[in-house]
Structure formats: C-alpha cells, structure tokens
Structure 1
Amino acid sequence: MNLANKITLARVFLVPVVMLFLLIHFDLGSVTFAGVSITYSEIIATVVFIIAASTDGLDGYIARKKKMVTNFGKFLDPLADKLLITAALISLVDRGSIEGWMAIVIISREFAVTGLRLVAVAEGHVIAASPLAKLKTLTQIVAIVAVMLNNFPFSLVGIPFATFAMWVAVIVTIWSGVDYFVKNRKVIQFKRSI
C-alpha cells in the first residue's frame, strides 16, 4: 500500500473518532469566551474533522505527483470523503445541531452522483470531479466546522454564520448534483429497442 492510500485510509479511521467525540458526552470540561461555551469534546471532534478533511487534497496530490494512482485509491478516496461528511452530518443531526432534512439532501446528492458514476463506468466513461463539486466539498466542510464549534467565534458578535454556511452548503450541493446530471445526461439516456 502506497503513501497516498495510507493517508486516505487514515481518513477512514478518523471518522469514528469524530463521531465518538461528537456523540458521547465525555466530561472533559469546557472553555468559555465572552459567555459562549464550547466543550473540549467539541473542540477535539472539530480538530480531528479538520485534520481528516485536509487529508483529502493531500492524498490526491501525492498520488498524482509521485505517480501512485491506483484503482484502490480511486475507489477509497471518494468513499472516505463520503464517510467523513455523512458521519459528521448524522452526528450533528443526532445532537440536534442541524435539521435532518439538510443532512438528507446532502447525503442523497452523494448517493445520486455515486450512482451516476457507476452507470458511467459500466458504459466505459469516467466522470471526473468538477470544480463545482470541489466547491461543494469546501462549503460542506466549512459549514460542518462552524456547526461543530457552535458558531464560534461568530456567536460572540451575534452573526449566525453556522446557519448561513449550512444553507450555502445545501444550495451548492443541490447545484452541483444538478450540474453533474445535466452535463452527463447522455450516460443515463435509455436506448430505444427496435
């Protein structure tokens, strides 16, 4: 197993760590800034999530630069991304930090685009990640981090950044999903039988 695949695999192993600190109420204490309290569990979950999310670009860069691209890596990388985002969203829904429908929209888009890619592969086509899909991932990560930190530091000045960021993530996610299907509609067109 090459270095790029090891980094991707590390991202998969960090997923349960994020969930553990988000969902289990460890009594590790908290820190308070101007009346806004954040538990150390939330801080740990956020730091681990950021580390895991940052490995996404790193593994791909290493694989391309060192010519370590493998079929295993092509399979594992998007799976690791989806596991990380999905686990964080479900954990945040369970905590009551975000609306369930927002998580469903984001997760549904991931399933739909994955299905489209599988159909494309069966037809001999490869659908590469678009710039809009990369923006989608970035907006999701920013929104999740903001929610994990209970809108800190924006809560100090009364700006609902986490709510705004989650709405942006949902809108960009939908836009990205529609874009994939519009640009790749030939892949899913049914062939007429004569």
Structure 2
Amino acid sequence: MRKLIFGINLTIDGCCDHTKMNGSVEIHEYFTSLMRGVDLLVYGRKTYELMVPFWPDVAKNNSGDTKSMNEFAHTFNAIDKVVFSRSLPDAEEKNTRIVRTDLQDEILKLKQAPGGIISTGGVALPSQLMELGLIDEYYIVVHPVVAGEGRRLFDGAILPQCVQLKLAASNTLTSGCVALHYLKE
C-alpha cells in the first residue's frame, strides 16, 4: 500500500502561514529531496492555488531567486496532482485532476493503487486526512520564529482519539530550523 506523507513549515508557536517564515536554500533543498520520492501530490483548492501557477511559472522560466528554488519548482512541476475541490472549475496543469467525490474513499483508492509515495500539504485538507487516520508520516520543519498570530496547524481538528507519533529522524539546519520526521504508530 502506498504511504501518505504530510509536509509543512511551522513557526515555534505553531503558525503555518508561509508569509511569517523566511524561505532559504536549505528549506527548498529539504523539500526538493523529500519530493523526489513522491509521485502524487494531494491538495485542497487553497493550497493548490497558492502553489499553481507560482511554481510552474518558476520552472518554466527558471526565475527562482536561487538554484534550489528552481530545482524545487522543476521537481514540483513534474509530479501528478489531485485537487479536492467543489468550486474549482478546472485545473491549470495538464498533470492535475480535480476530484469532487468523498475524500476518504478517494484517498483509500489512491493508497491502494500502484505507485510511489503520496504527499499532501496545506492545512485544511491535511487536518481532515489526520482526522480520518490516513496520514502515515509527518515531515515538519520548525522555523526559529515566534509569529504571535496567524493560522495554527490542526486548529479545529476533531480527533476520534489521540494520534501517537514516533520520532524517526531530526535534523538541525544551519538556519536554525529543525526538520522533524514522525511515523504514525
């Protein structure tokens, strides 16, 4: 069965608003390395619209501020995507499919289909996936920033039971960020 992984950047106080953190070469390299093992991205509409057309445009024009941004853009652009949305009329990319059916049923079908790792990002959709017990691994990069405000990870998530995780790896980056990898027990 395919694994579903979740990756996100957070501030120390749990804020997941990307505008509150500084991107760095290391962060792009970290997530590019993670994405190289992924063959399907699963997003909700909001995350998809944050990522597309930004990253495909960077890939098309090699317009990133750094080589690592361009590498991330090319890696992201090459991966097939599934977007869960009832309001998005169509996808901007040819390798993207809009899904309007039941989230749990579709994710279970995707996990049982042949292929490699499935990755998700954002907040709302991963919260629902966590509530359903469908996320297998968590990749969380904690930035040395206290945002003081902004959307918090898993705010409003209603769990049927506590989700126990096991630390599989941790890595302190030179920027002071800490990359954590957890497995669902």
TM range (shorter): under 0.3
- Return the structure number with greater relative CO, CA threshold 8 A, min gap 6: 2
Larger Rg, first or second structure (1 or 2): 1
Structure with more helix by fraction: 1
TM-score (norm 1): 0.23
More strand by share: 2
